[in-house]
Chains A and B, each alone.
Chain A
């Protein structure tokens, strides 16, 4: 049973528009959430994170929103750029376990 789900395997967006990537989780013990970005032939790289005590965290063009009651988080990229084309993974951890549970990923294509 997947504890972290990314239900959209792919997303295509026009350059300059907003990209919204979604993630749902089932484990109410998760208290920290991360987004990773992965290019082909490279390892995932950390993008942005959010603690469960917050509902929003912003870093430049990237904003993560957390809705604890819905067990849902989303990553907004504004404006989207062709270099943002990659696979995005949502991940979650609980307490001091330091283990990350990953979603299956969403492939984002930003069209010029």
Chain B
């Protein structure tokens, strides 16, 4: 079974709709992250959370919100989707204790491909 799962894997929605992307992990990691990938731009950080009570904005948080429902769950919401939010979205986790094999090594989910029409 995958350690980091994302649902849905693919989603097509319309401008103005609210949409939620969900991430779950079984790695027991404290830290969780949301990234988006656009062609030619690599991965950019949207939000990150170091524990259930901690939420931080990344470099491109405008138009997004997050919720850390539990240590294992971190969801990303688009309150009113717009076409330039069409992208590949990745959730990632890391171990705050650095015991997972590498300093700040992050483990990624399989991604959600979101299309906003």
Cβ 8 A contact of B31, one of A46, A49, A93, A98: A98
CA distance A72 to B22 in the complex (A): 36
Query: What 11 additional pairs, Cβ within 8 angstroms, besides A36-B108, A49-B103?
Result: A42-B110, A43-B4, A43-B90, A89-B42, A99-B45, A99-B48, A102-B43, A102-B44, A103-B42, A104-B40, A104-B42
Q: Is the CB of B104 within 8 A of A32?
A: yes
CA distance A55 to B90 in the complex (A): 30
Please count how many residues in chain A sit with their CB below 8 Å of the partner chain's CB atoms.
23
Measuring CB to CB, which residues of chain B are less than 8 angstroms from any residue of chain A? 4, 31, 35, 40-45, 48, 50, 58, 90, 92, 94, 96, 102-111
CA distance A38 to B24 in the complex (A): 20
Cβ 8 A contact of B43, one of A41, A51, A89, A93: A89
- A34 contacts partner chain B, Cβ-Cβ < 8 Å: yes
Given A43-B4, A44-B90, A89-B42, A100:B109 Cβ within 8 A: no
- A26 contacts partner chain B, Cβ-Cβ < 8 Å: no
CA distance A44 to B108 in the complex (A): 6
Q: Is the CB of B108 within 8 A of A43?
A: yes
